[in-house]
Structure 1
C-alpha cells in the first residue's frame, strides 16, 4: 500500500487507474463517496486534498453557508476496486475549505485525536473487532406511505420460513454447520479473498454465526485505533458489494429478525507502552486471568462509563432489540474471565502469552461509527488507568440466571434499554470524552440520534396491531 504521495501517484500510474473514488465517513457512520477523473489527480492535490465536498449535504457536517470542504487521502488505504475495472478507492480526512484546518466533526479526526492523547500519556492501544452480519437473499420492505402501514419480509435460503427445499438452519443452531448446510461459505470466502488481495487485510477467520438466515462473521488481525476503524468501514463496503454481486443483501443491522441472535461487534482491546514493546495488561503472576492491575483499571474505566458508551457503541434504536437476555448479547455491567454473560471478559485460551492478553468488550454492534466507538472505548480505558478505577470482583456465573436481588447484592448494573436512555447518559457523562470529542460533535451527534428516536416513536409497530387491534 502507498505511504507517500509519490507512492500514491506511482500506484495510480502502474495500475492504469482512470477514476479515483474518494470515500469518507459521515457522523452516523455511513460511508460516502465522490468519484473524480484521474486527470484531476496530481502531486499537489494528493498532498493538499481535493476540494470536492459540499459538507451541507452530509449528515452531521456543516450548514449551507459554510459548505466547501476538502478531502485529503489517507495514502495507505488506496486500493483497486475489483468489481469496477479502472477505478481505485481511497479513504480520506475531511478539512474545512479556505485553509481553515481540520474539520472537527470528521469522525476520523476524533480517532486520530484519541491516538494523539494516548501517545502523550505514554501508551498505544490495539483493537480487534469481530464483525457479525447477515446475508439475505432479499428484503421486501413496505414503507411507501404512512397510511399503508409498515412491514418487511426476509427471504433467506437457509432459514426455516423461506427454504427452497434445501437444508435449513434451525434457530440458534448456526454455529458452525459445515456445507451444504452452511450455504453462504462461498460468498464469505469471496469477500475474504477480496479483502486480502486488494485491500491489504490479514484475515484470521470467517464462519457462520449462531443465528439462522445467513448470519456470519469475519475476523481480521488487530491494529491501531484509526487503522482498525478504516478496516471496519472497508470490510462493510466489500461485503455489501460482494453480496450485491450475487444478488443478495448484506446487512450489519443489529437485530433484523425476531427470535434469534442479533449481530454484534465484540471488540478486543489491549493497552501497551508507547513503543509497543510491553503489554501493560499482562501479569503472568496473576492467578485469576494473568491480568495486571493496569488491566483491571482499564476494565474499571469501561465499566464505570458503560452506560455512556452505549450511545456510541449501540447507536441505533434497533441496537436495543439486540441487548436483551437470552440471546448472548450483554445486558449486565460486569467482568469475568470467560463468562459471556458479562459485558467484559478476559479471554484465557492459553497461558503465558503476553501478546495475547486483552479484554473482549462485548457491547458494540456494527451499526456504530467505528471511529467514535473505538475512541470512546479508549478514553474510558484511559480514564480508568488515570484515576485507578477498581472494577470490583469478577462474576463467574451466568448473570442471566441470577435474581434481581442477587444482582443488586453483587453490584451488577444494567446497560440502557433504549437509545434515548443511552443518550441521557451521554449528556450527563461527557467529561472523560472531552479530550478528543469536541462539544460541537457531541451536540450534533446527540441531536441526530434524538431525531432518530423521535421518528421511530411515531410509527406504529406491526406487532402492536397483533397485540392491541382488539382493544
Structure 2
C-alpha cells in the first residue's frame, strides 16, 4: 500500500482499477512488470505490454504462470496459475528509462476458478490477517529492520568441486581491500561511522529516495551497520502485516537494483564474512483493537501489557521450530552464534540485545503508547517476510490462547553466563544448524495450523532439507586447514 507524506504525516494512498489505467496513460507506461514471491522468498516477474493490458485482466487476472516452474508452487500435472495484480502496489520503476515501466505485485490463483494457491506466501500472510480478526483483534503492525551487505565485487567457484571450492569478496571499506578509500573499517567496527569511512551514504540516499517517492515505502533512517565491508540498514516505517511484507520484498528489489546502478552488488546472505557480524531482520510487532495498542499498559512493568507478555511467551515457547522459517538457510546459523550481536538465547528483556526478544523502551508514557512493541531479533533477511510475520503471529497468538508465561526478563549479558547459570534461569538456546531447526519444526508444528496448512509446512521442510543436504555432502575449505595433516 503506497504512502505519501502530507503535512508531515504518512498518508495512505489507495488506487482504484480506474486510477491504474489513468496513470498508465498519463505516465505513458510502455510495460508492466507483474511481480510475485515464491515459497522460499525469491522475487519473480513477467512483463506485459501496456497496450494489451485490459480491464478484465486487471479484475480477473492473467493466465501467465506455469506453477511447476516456481519453487514450492505446483506439480507439472496441475501447473496453470493466474496472476491477479494488486492496484495498490502500482509503482513506476525509475531505473528503467528506455521503455517506461511500472510494476504491480500479484496474488496467485489456481486456474478454473479453484481459488487461491495455498503456497502463495502473500496469500498466507493475508490469511493470517483474517485469522487475527477471529481472535478478537483488529490489526497487527509490523516493522522489519532489514540489514544487508553491499560489495564492490564477489566471485565464487562451486561448479568445479574436484578442483576446489572458493569465494572472494571485494569491498572498498574492508581492511583487506587493496584499493580502498584509505579509511578501512575493522571487523565489527562499522556502526555509524562518518564519511569518508562510510562510502555508501549516497547509495543509501538513492535507495531511500526511490523507496519513498516511487514505491510509497516510507523510510525514516538509514546508516552503516556494525560489520565492515558495506553492511547497511534502511528502516521502514511500520505498517499492517501484508503491507509490511510487501514493503520488505520491494525493499530487497530496490536495494539490489540501485546497487547495480552504483556498480556494486547487494546481498541478503545473513553471514557472508567470517569473524564479523551478520545481517538480521529484527521484526517489530504490536496488536491493536479499537484503535488501541494492546501491548501498552501504563500500569505494568516496562508499560508492557499482560497480552504482550503472553504473546512473548508464545514466541519463546515455539522459538526453536520457528527458526526453520525465520532463519531458513544453512548460512543463517553462522550468524546465530554468541559474540556477534546476534540473538542466541531464548529470553526476553528491555535494552539487552543478547536476548532473542527485546521490548524497546526509548520513551515512556501514554504519548508514546502507539510505539510500544515487541522486537523479535532472530529473523534474518534470507527469510520470506510473508512467512516470518505469519509464523511469528501464529506463535504469539498461541501464547495468548494458552496464557504462556515468558518468565522474568533477563537484564544481564547472557553471553557471559555459564551453561549452569543459563539452565538455572531457564534460558534455552536456538538450534545450532538448519537440520536441528527442521527437526524442531517437525515435532512442534501444530501452532502454525490455523494459518499454515500441513501441505505448506511439509513443502517448507522438504525444500530446506534439500539445501541442508547440499551443504552436508561437501567439504568446507577450512576443513583442509584443520584436518589435512591428520
TM-score normalised to the size of structure 1?
0.98
Paired residue for 1:398? Answer: 413
Deviations for 1:12-70, whole angstroms, at most 9, x for unmatched residues?
11111111111100011010110111123111100111110011101011111111110
In structure 2, what is the equivalent of residue 12 of structure 1? 24
Does the residue aligned with 2:311 lie in a helix, a strand or coil?
A: helix
- Alpha-carbon distance between aligned partners in 2 of 1:294 and 1:65, rounded to the nearest angstrom: 46
1:65-464 pair list within 5 angstroms:
65-85=77-97, 86-123=100-137, 124-165=139-180, 166-273=182-289, 275=290, 277-286=291-300, 288-352=301-365, 353-464=368-479
Alpha-carbon deviation of 1:3?
Answer: 2.6
| Corresponding residue SS for 1:63 | coil
Task: Compute the displacement of 1:387 (Å).
Answer: 1.2
How many residue pairs were aligned?
A: 468
Secondary structure of the equivalent of 2:356?
Answer: strand
Cα distance between partner residues in 2 of 1:308 and 1:6: 45
Q: Residue 241 of structure 1 aligns to a residue in which SS? A: helix
Q: In the aligned structure 2, how far is the partner of 1:11 from the partner of 1:422?
A: 47
Write out the 4+ residue segments of structure 1 that deviate beyond 3 Å after TM superposition.
none
Provide the secondary structure at the position in 1 that maps to 2:82: strand
Q: Mind listing any 5+ residue stretches in structure 1 that lack a counterpart?
A: none
Give the SS at the match of 1:148.
Answer: coil
Q: CA deviation at 1:226?
A: 0.7
Cα distance in 2 for partners of 1:12, 1:306 equals 45
Q: How many angstroms apart in 2 are the aligned matches of 1:38 and 1:319? A: 40
Q: CA deviation at 1:179?
A: 0.6
What is the rounded CA distance, in whole Å, between the counterparts of 2:48 and 2:434 in structure 1?
A: 38
Query: Is 2:43 the partner of 1:31?
Result: yes
Alpha-carbon distance in 2 for matches of 1:356, 1:98: 45
Pairing 1:41–2:56 present: no
Between 1:36-45 and 1:442-451, the stretch displaced more is 36-45
When the two chains are superposed, the root-mean-square deviation of aligned CA atoms in Å is 0.9
2: CA distance, partners of 1:266 / 1:45? 37
Q: Which residue of the other structure, out of 48, 53, 56, is the alignment partner of 2:65? A: 53
> What SS does the corresponding residue of 1:333 show, helix, strand or coil?
strand
Provide the rounded CA distance (Å) in 2 between the counterparts of 1:356 and 1:80.
31
CA distance in 1 between counterparts of 2:322 and 2:20 reads: 37
In 2, Cα distance between equivalents of 1:145 and 1:40: 45
CA displacement at 1:163 relative to structure 2: 4.3
Question: What are the Cα deviations for residues 249-304 of structure 1, in whole angstroms up to 9, with x where unaligned?
Answer: 0001000010110000111111111x4x1111111112x31111111111111100
Q: Distance in 2 between matches of 1:434 and 1:149?
A: 44
Whole-Å Cα distance in 1 between the matches of residues 214 and 154 of structure 2?
29
Length-normalised TM-score, structure 2: 0.95
The CA distance in 1 between the partners of 2:402 and 2:86, in whole Å, is: 35
Contact 1:255 1:261 in 2 (8 A): yes
Matched-pair contact (CA < 8 Å) for 1:156–1:163:
no
Could you give the per-residue CA deviations for residues 188-218 of structure 1, whole angstroms, max 9, x where no partner exists?
1111111111000111100000000000101
